[in-house]
Structure 1
Amino acid sequence: MAGKAKKAAPKKKGAGYKMPDPIPTGEVIKDTIFKKEWRIGPSIGVGGFGEIYSACDNTSKAKDYPYAIKIEPSENGPLFVENNFYSRNANKDDITQYMKSKKLSNLGMPIYYGKGTHACKGTSYRYLVLEKYGKDVWSLFNNAGKRFQPATVFQLGLQMLDVLEYIHSRGYVHADIKGANMLLGLKKGCENQVYLVDFGLATRVKEDQPFTPNPKCAHDGTIEYTSRDAHLGEPTMRGDLEILGYNMFHWLTGELPWEKVLKTATTVQNMKESFLKDVRKNITKQFADVPEALIKFFEHINALKPKAVPDYAKCRKLFEDYLKAQGVKRTNKLDFAPPKKTASKTIDNSIEEDDASDEEPIKPQKNGDAPKRRGRKPKVTVEVDTENEEPEPVKETKKKGKRKSSEPAVLVKVKKAKLNPTQTPPAKKNHTNIATQTSTEKPVRQSPRNNTSRHVSFDSPISEIVGNGKMSSSINSSGDIFDDSFTIKEVKVKPKRKLLSMKDEEVTVKRVVKKKVAGVKKTRSWKDSATIVNGRAPPS
């Protein structure tokens, strides 16, 4: 006869904790404290110490499962600690009253709906009933390429500050803040709220005792984010803020300086001590994209004493001021999309032909490598608003010639001196200078077709007639011009423009006036005939 088969022992996972056997779907758990019955649904996931299932009220006929039940063997300790924490600090009435006092519309503190023990297939389990939540921040972080937008990081930081302030006000610290323990809400109006869960390492603060390292609890928590105080075995309030700071730093940069040495806890501890010793220098030297608000947050943590209560208002203001500068409100929708890649500005290092003499000599490389040639870097066009700026003067460049000086050009304005008017030169002998005289009457331009008189200039013999009134013997005049058709008339006029040597005075101007003469019958001259008439030239 075959003997009875022995029941398989619960599986163990990490640190000696036993993992529970799967609970069948439809299993009903009786809650003796809240007098309710919970029906087990499909599994949601496996945690570090147990498994999480979806659940619903057994009396509900709906097919959805709005609750989550966390189950682990009774021999494990973390859920026992968590149950005690929830029963003391996650009461719905206490949370609602705190939110009213802080004027908060939402708070990322979960409310528990039941707890107790349950036996299934001869195994005793401990369970905890909570509200069902959505995706965790860690999976969203991986989906975003391990980088969050800075605004999203500080929005998450503000929500976590509110939760930590509530937990600390109840005399507890969380000690295990990380993206995997931050879950998005599913209820209407809470989709933009992140809830902090998993209080398996929650510890009561010993305010009446001095800070004393505890080697038995050293390095507890998630090694990437464990605070310096927790590395010593004594979790603190400032340690919770430090853990939050490491998470925010990781979300911003996508990496932590000690990621490659996580297997050695003491090495990670030393690197964190060195990192925060001069946090500003270490961050700005290697991570230029980290905002100033996070650096000041770390500096505030360094200034706190081990048992001191953090200044939450100051930390909150740092985060809010950053969001305000970015034009984002803390209540805006959380954007978990990957950050946009911005093209970094490159300086135009292209060398002009005229400036070739300023180029640095190429230095030989080590190990006998050939020197690298310096090529031209691509130019980046930057749009600049020059609407209200004065245009820069255009520099004239020469194709060939010596290189111009690199000194800036200086524009010198020369003030022109006003010269005193010089006296009019004396007129020539027997010649009156009328070039400086003016007339109020403008000369009438005659059409070339109707112009029957010859053009007269001051260089013609008429200028001597105006000057002396007599014909000089040296003038070779023509009879058809001065044949009693002109006369000299004196007219007194007031000059339209002031002369340099006169004031408001009348000037006597001599004009040549055409005189109407009775028609004189002129004889026909050979000049009026054609050049060749009947094939014969005119008489000589």
Structure 2
Amino acid sequence: MSGRAKKAAAPKRKANGYKMPAPIPLGEVLVDTIGKKKWRIGPSIGVGGFGEIYSACDHESSPKKGGGYPYVIKIEPHENGPLFVEVHFYIRNSNKADIEKYMKDKKLTTFGMPLYFGHGSHVFKGEKYRYLVLERYGQNIWSLFLQNGRLFPPHTVFLLGLQMLDVLEYVHTRGYVHADIKGGNILLGLKKGTEHQAYLVDFGLATRINDKEFKPDPKCAHNGTIEYTSRDAHLGVATMRGDLEILGYNMLQWLTGQLPWEKNLQQPKTVQEMKEAFMRNVRKEITKLSSSVPEALIKYFEYINTLKPKDRIDYTKCKQMLETYLKSQGVSRSSKLEFTTKKKRGSKTVNGDQNDSGTEKNKEKVLKKNSIKQNGEAKVTKRGRKARTVMTDENSENEEPSTTDNVSPRKRGRKPQTIYLEVNSEDEASIGKEQSIRKVPVRAKKRKSTEPSVLVKVKKTKMAPKATPPVKKNHANISTQTSVDRPRRNPRQVSFDSPVSAVIGDESKSDKSTKEKSANSSPDVFEDSLIVEDKKVKPKRKLLSQQEVTVRG
């Protein structure tokens, strides 16, 4: 190592030929000599097409982590041109007094035109830079578009279109066209109350309206972002109708996720020809792209086709087209911007194919029960349980089951069975076309007889119960009741744990003859199942005296 200090790397140039600035360190102070104000550089936010963008704050304030930088500063080398154009546009058209007056005239509570706060020049490491100070905004629409699967809800697209038409009307009345409208140049507000207001930024390609004869300029041909560039801009002329056309292409992309010429962006001439073909037959081309594009956007494009290059725009008519659609959806201009598309859950058949939600109540009922149609029968299945069997009439194929069908078989105390519903041939054809249904084996139906029914009484004979084996000697037999019908409760209590099931009665009233009968009283209960045999039982010994005697050893 020679120990020599390395020279600072020269600013790199981008593919578009513009020189990029060297990184500015955190805390660098920029002095606005005209406004007599100092700005302190914060963390870098991103790199644009012509320079770098930093967060910033007043030099006197001490920012906290996160939200302590209320401004942004765009910096680019002094020799670049776009920021020079943008600075002078903001100086003329973006002061606070003019914007507030316009909002009051148009009765707007929020407005998507950025405010200008300052500009100047700054020298860093021998390189001279130009900078512009603006209000800081939030996330851009393009990043939200990618985050949400390249699709926005239709009402959000039309709300964004209305907000951008407000800004374009202001810019056009000031004698300029933007010429580079796109999602990356549309930012959401950060301040309270502006979270659902979109701001159009980056006026680096802003051009004064040319009142002279419309004449193509090959030097400026295809200016802008190629996928959105208007037909006039492809010829090198920026026009007011071109701004409306660029906005329309953005709205179409937000609605459908793509533009017809996105695969040919490397050939500007091809893109130009495809746009001209598209605008010649807007309705047909949009229908090819998607059948769900609202009619309001088609009419918007058709209105652009009626304009000549130098015609003034009827902004009220354009806004009414978009507002008509929003009213049909129950959305007002003050509604919130929602960028997540709410997917409708379609009903699924047994095969798992998605189905439409259904236009008829009968179809909805069949789909809710996940019915399986098969040769005039519909087997209704339920997840996690089985249904019970009920044969219904021919005209009841779409009736709702009773409330007991929704109860678990275990709770009903019955075995789970299967429901079979009959489906008419007409309904079978209409339902079968809209549902992909898995076939199941057919159960043969019983043939109905045409003979009149006759009531026949059948007499059932009771089977004789099997006899209980005889009681073994010196063995305690436990008798079992074998009668078909359970006898009613008898006032006499019968014990089944004695050898012969003796009847226990009131001994005080019984005599010797009664005791003899009690031993043989079992046969009147089990007359057909027991064999009774006499058995002598020794009487219990009686105490001669109740006197207790204590013996001492």
Q: In which range does the TM-score fall when normalised by the shorter chain?
A: 0.5 to 0.7
The percentage of counterpart residues that share the same residue type is: 65
Aligned position for 2:31: 30
Which residue matches 2:213?
210
Are 1:382 and 2:358 matched, yes or no? yes
Deviations 1:122-151 (CA, angstroms, capped at 9, x unpaired):
110000000000000000000000000000
Closer/same/farther in 2, CA of residues 344 and 84 from structure 1, 3 Å limit: farther
Counterpart AA for 2:223: D
The secondary structure found in structure 2 opposite 1:71 is: strand
Q: Which structure 2 residues correspond to residues 247-266 of structure 1 after superposition, within 5 A?
A: 247-266=250-269
CA distance in 2, matches of 1:304, 1:332: 31
Inter-CA distance 253–342: structure 2 relative to 1 (3 Å threshold): farther
One-letter code of the match for 1:203? Answer: T
Q: Secondary structure at the match of 1:272?
A: helix
- Given the superposition, is the C-alpha separation of residues 3 and 185 from structure 1 closer, same or farther in structure 2, using an over 3 Å criterion? same
- The Cα shift of 1:221 comes to 0.3
Q: Which runs of 5+ in 2 are unaligned?
A: 363-393, 398-424, 427-553
3-state SS of the aligned residue for 1:17? coil
Q: Distance in 2 between matches of 1:37 and 1:99?
A: 30
Alignment counterpart, residue 126 of structure 2, candidates 122, 137, 140: 122
Asked if 1:90 corresponds to 2:91, the answer is no
Partner Cα separation in structure 2 for residue 68 and residue 167 of structure 1? 22
1:277 is matched by which residue type in structure 2? R
Pick one of 298, 313, 317 that aligns with 1:314. Answer: 317
Match of 2:185 in 1: 181
Aligned partners of 1:148 and 1:339 also within 8 Å: no
In 2, are the aligned partners of 1:147 and 1:339 still within 8 Å (CA)? Answer: no
SS at match of 1:142: helix
CA contact (8 A) 1:17 1:76 kept: yes
CA distance in 2 between partners of 1:125 and 1:339 (Å) = 47
For structure 1, list consecutive stretches of 5 or more residues without a partner in the other structure: 347-374, 387-392, 397-402, 405-540
Q: Distance in 2 between matches of 1:13 and 1:380?
A: 51
Amino acid at match of 2:171: I
| Pick aligned residue for 1:140 from 124, 144, 147 | 144
Amino acid of the structure 1 residue aligned with 2:294 = P
Q: C-alpha displacement at 1:116, in angstroms?
A: 1.1
Alpha-carbon distance, 1:206 to partner: 1.1
Identify if the C-alpha distance between structure 1 residues 35 and 142 changes in structure 2 by more than 3 Å, giving closer, same or farther. same
Q: Does 1:270 align with 2:246?
A: no
Tell me, yes or no, if structure 1 residue 103 matches structure 2 residue 104.
no
| Letter of the structure 2 residue corresponding to residue 137 of structure 1 | I
Matching residue of 2:441: none
Give CA deviations for 1:227-264 in whole Å, capped at 9, x if unaligned: 00000000100000000000000000001000100000
Q: State how far apart, in whole Å, the 1-side matches of 2:7 and 2:356 are.
A: 75
Query: Which range moved further: 54-63 or 229-238?
Result: 54-63
Question: Does the CA-based 8 Å contact 2:347-2:355 persist in structure 1?
Answer: no
Q: Does 1:305 align with 2:308?
A: yes
**Distance in 1 between the 2:282 and 2:295 partners?**
11
Q: 1:277 and 1:380, CA in 2 relative to 1: closer, same or farther beyond 3 A?
A: closer
| Structure 1 residue aligned with 2:234 | 231
Deviations 1:242-288 (A, max 9, x none): 00000000000001000100000000000000001010111123310
Please list, as runs of the form range in 1=range in 2, the aligned pairs for 1:107-506 lying within 5 A after superposition. 107-207=111-211, 209-341=212-344, 343=346, 382=358, 384=360
8 Å contact from structure 1 (residues 261, 267) kept in 2: yes
Q: Is the 8 A contact 1:41 1:65 kept in 2?
A: yes
Distance between the aligned counterparts of 2:73 and 2:357, measured in 1?
A: 59
* CA drift at 1:394: 6.0
Residue 25 of structure 1 aligns to a residue in which SS?
coil
Query: Conserved in 2, the CA contact under 8 Å of 1:54 and 1:66?
Result: yes
State the SS of the aligned residue for 2:195.
Answer: coil
Q: How many residues align?
A: 363
Question: In the superposition, relative to structure 1, how do residues 253 and 381 fare at CA in structure 2: closer, same or farther (>3 Å)?
Answer: closer
Task: Return the alpha-carbon distance in structure 1 between the equivalents of residues 53 and 10 of structure 2.
Answer: 20
